[in-house]
Amino acid sequence: AVTAADKDHPLTEEDTRATLRALRAGADDYLTKPFHDEELVARARVHLRLRELQDELRDKSTLLETLNRTDGLTGLLNRRSLVEVLGAEFAKCTRYRAPLSLVMVDLDRFKKVNDTFGHPVGDAVLKTVARVIRAELRACDAAARFGGEEFALLLPQTDRAGAIVAAERCRTALEAARVPTSASAVSVTASFGVATWPHPQVARLDDLVSQADQALYRAKSEGRNRVVAL
């Protein structure tokens, strides 16, 4: 909005107060009458540019927030973001007595992929893993790159049996996925550790994470490329 006054009728104290009220209510500028068309256009352009700058700042702020919350390579949540989401979900589920499952995922012998084909291929494998996981999960689920070749899946409203089904679905899809290279296609497998609340040994959030880690360790020690649930 633009307020205006007539040059032939100078602003009175009441006019000044009215102008201040208008500016406080959201008016963006002040013009006196009669005004030049070029001045009006120039001022309008200034405000349009200010609006564009505000939009750019808003977009950059949104982008920075996204970058702070996601893993740059895979586009999944990063570890910090998952911990925040997991904390909120755990509090909600324990309050309303709804099941919650956490699945830890670790790629089998991933170092061999990097050593044999190089890190660019290793990065392509990680991107493929993220894509496959996202495709197999529900919209309400969350997936994160927990670190290196380790991933975490958060499954709200999912009991032990349902989590095993979801983990097995992801495991099978990963086993079937192929990443093309200049020489051949690369395939990987992954081990899955499932932990669920409620559980006799899960009283706190840390217990849930610990249970998932223990289950993952068992999956590795029992031969890899399998799902283990405690």
**Catalytic residue annotation:** 149
- In the chain, where does DSSP find H-type helix? 13-25, 37-69, 79-96, 110-117, 119-136, 160-176, 205-221
Amino acid found at 99: P
Strand 2-6 relative to strand 100-107: parallel, antiparallel, unpaired? unpaired
3-class secondary-structure state, position 15? helix
75 vs 24: CA distance, rounded Å: 43
d(CA 60, CA 82): 23
AA identity, residue 49: R
Q: How far is CA 103 from CA 83, 138, 157, 183, 194, in A?
A: 13, 14, 14, 33, 5
Sign of CA dihedral 131, 164, 138, 199: negative
Residue 193 near residue 104, CB atoms below 8 Å: yes
